[in-house]
Amino acid sequence: MIDFVQNCFDGVMLGSSYALLAIGFTLIFGVMRRLNLSYGPSIMLGAFVGTLVFLEFRAGGLAVAAATVVGAVLVGIYVERLCFWAIRQGAAVASMVSSFAIWMQLEEVVTIAFPDRTYPFPPLTRTEPMDFGPFFFKVENLIMFACAVALTLGLHLLLYRTRFGLRIRAVAENPDAARYMGINIAAVTFLAFACASAIGGIAGYLIVAQDGQITPLFGLWATFKGLIAMMLGGMGSIPGAILGGLLLGVVEAQNIWYLGTEYRDLCAYALLFVFLVFRPGGMFGHTLAERERLALRRV
Amino acid sequence: MLEVRDLDVSYGRIRALRGVSLDVAEGEIVALIGANGAGKSSTMNAISGVVRAAAGEVRLDGRDLLGLPAHRIVGRGVVQVPEGRLIFAGLTVEENLRLAAAAAHDRRVEAEELERVLDLFPMLRHRLKDRGSNLSGGQAQMLALARGLIAAPKLLLLDEPSLGLAPVAAREVFGLIAKLRDSGVTILLVEQNVRQALAVADRGYVLEGGRIVLDGDAKELLGHDLLVKSYLGIRREEVA
């Protein structure tokens, strides 16, 4: 029982990083109704910028974090211009396919620029784990969890307390109506994309700092975890992204403990499969059919 | 105030508008009349920049509007209340209004404008925290009109404001348009309810197959043969 509870704690901490990845994903999907498969790889490239700063200048944690976020945002903007803005009149699937092509391109760039593949990344902290009665917590996990909570609150305030957030929500709900309201849709989309990339960059920094190393495969990993967590919660829903991330984290943590690390990713896919069969819209989302019904009911 | 000259609009190979010219003077209500597919909405959408015109000129107070992106045209003071109302169902009534106000005003003016519009639509004051999805058709149209007015437009484009409304709600909408005219708002009005549109308008244009086939004083148009035969006759049967 103590093991199970401990796993739940660990899972929530792990899941908070998935939740951040999923929030970035869902923000982009919510505003554009388009999937950005290059989301993970752009974070990966940001992390390599962080590594570069670390190796070249022996920089501390904060500078590496800043470099990672700035790198992720710049690459994110590159992806947005190429895969979304340039073909905004085209079909949504065209954006998805081009974001896949850019993913491959980004991986190639990193492989050429960083031929050793695995590079060190400065850890968040070297403090010993803390004991709370029968449970123990790693300090870096607690930092990650705290950052995730703070970022989520910040995003909530941005979306519900500012004019910019109101515009994001309007464009996400109905871009046609937003255009009549005098909203510059291209600008709102661009800024929302940049925000999502920044959130992804912070999430990426926290995760990679935990691992203590970075490889080009991180892009694939981040896209998968973010995508799965988003789909569990419901595409386009921010509460869904948070819950989806936490659920994925807890299920994985239980799996690692009871079945072993090698089943970690397999169980993530199994969980996604179960949801796709029994609740395709996720916990908070609507299926496409429901969405259409809602649109018709719209007064 | 608004001058439209030789406006052409095409959707792929379909030509929706062929050389449409019209004028709206300050303080005037001008009705745009025609059957479904005659090009009424295309004319409006081209003026508001939502649809790109292939050729022609659109000027507001002598300044060119054509080719500007839609949000810049709103900034110039031309606001469209679109067909189907397009209320944000997931946003509250207040958020719907503040969103529209933000396009034209800074924060300080926003609160005043909100008050001004709520005085005009007292019904909305009690529903500020309700979501758009909870409004009836008539209430949603009132919100759509309020959303258009809160940006304090020089020219208001109303696209089918009474479409799909119960007769009582439609009467309310026309009553409001009359009230707006008295307060000096300039309006270009597209309506399928020809009789009521011409009753409230100063002048009218009749569109057919993407061309203006008739224009004139609203009272004269009401008695015109073409209109009586094509539109008012059918209307009369429908009403009966």
ipTM associated with this complex: 0.88
Burial A261-298 (b: 16+ CB within 10 A, else e): eeeeeebbeebbeebeeeeebbbbbbeeeeeeeeeeeb
CA distance A54 to chain B (A): 44
B33 DSSP 8-state letter? E
Q: What is the pTM of this model?
A: 0.88
At B63 the three-state DSSP class reads strand
Chain B, residues 129-168, CB within 8 A of chain A, namely 132-133, 135-137, 139-140, 147, 151
CA distance B188 to chain A (A): 15
Instruction: Write down the pLDDT at residue A293.
Output: 58
pLDDT level of residue B237 (50, 70, 90 thresholds)? very low
Average pLDDT over residues A218-229: 95
The answer to whether the Cβ–Cβ distance between A183 and B87 falls below 8 Å is no
Mutate to test the interface with A, among B41, B88, B109 (most CBs of A within 10 A): B88
pLDDT tens by residue, B34-69: 888 889 999 999 999 999 999 999 999 999 999 899
Q: Which CATH architecture has domain A2-297?
A: Orthogonal Bundle (1.10)
Chain A positions touching B151 (Cβ under 8 A) are: 182
Mean pLDDT of chain B: 89
pLDDT tens by residue, A118-169: 999 998 877 788 888 888 888 888 999 999 999 999 999 999 999 999 999 9
Average pLDDT over residues A54-76: 93
pLDDT level of residue A248 (50, 70, 90 thresholds)? very high
Residues in chain A: 299
Instruction: Write down the pLDDT at residue B105.
Output: 79
CA distances for B190 relative to A126, B149, B177, angstroms: 70, 17, 12
Determine how many CB atoms are found less than 10 A away from the CB of residue A209.
Answer: 24
pLDDT level of residue B127 (50, 70, 90 thresholds)? very high
The answer to whether the Cβ–Cβ distance between A294 and B69 falls below 8 Å is no
Q: Could you tell me which of A9, A242, A13, A24 has the C-alpha nearest to residue A144? A: A13
Give the phi and the psi of residue A59 in degrees, each rounded to 5. Answer: -75, 155
Q: Which two tokens stand for residue B47?
A: 């003026």
Instruction: Write down the pLDDT at residue B51.
Output: 92
Give the nearest partner residue to A173 out of B85, B91, B98, using CB atoms.
B91
Instruction: Write down the pLDDT at residue B240.
Output: 38
CA-based end-to-end distance of chain B:
39
Domains and CATH numbers, chain B: 2-84+154-239 (3.40.50.300)
The torsion of the CA quartet A202, A205, A209, A212, rounded to 10 degrees, works out to 160
Q: How many CB pairs under 8 A join A and B?
A: 75
Lowest-confidence pick of A124-128, A243-247, B40-44, B232-236 = B232-236
Contact A170, A178 (CB under 8 A): yes
Domain residue spans in chain A?
2-297
Would you say residue A266 has pLDDT above 90? Answer: no
CA distance A160 to chain B (A): 10
pLDDT level of residue A2 (50, 70, 90 thresholds)? confident
Q: Could you tell me which of A140, A158, A149, A138 has the C-alpha nearest to residue A246? A: A149
The 8 Å CB, 24+ separation contacts for A115-120 are A117/A215, A117/A216, A118/A213, A118/A214, A118/A215, A119/A48, A119/A51, A119/A55, A119/A213, A119/A214, A119/A215, A120/A51, A120/A54, A120/A55, A120/A212, A120/A213
Contact A244, A232 (CB under 8 A): yes
Q: Could you tell me which of B42, B81, B44, B78 has the C-alpha nearest to residue B61? A: B78
Instruction: Write down the pLDDT at residue B223.
Output: 82
More confident residue, B144 or A58: B144
Q: Which two tokens stand for residue B180?
A: 């707006």
pLDDT tens by residue, B190-222: 988 888 899 999 999 999 999 999 999 998 888
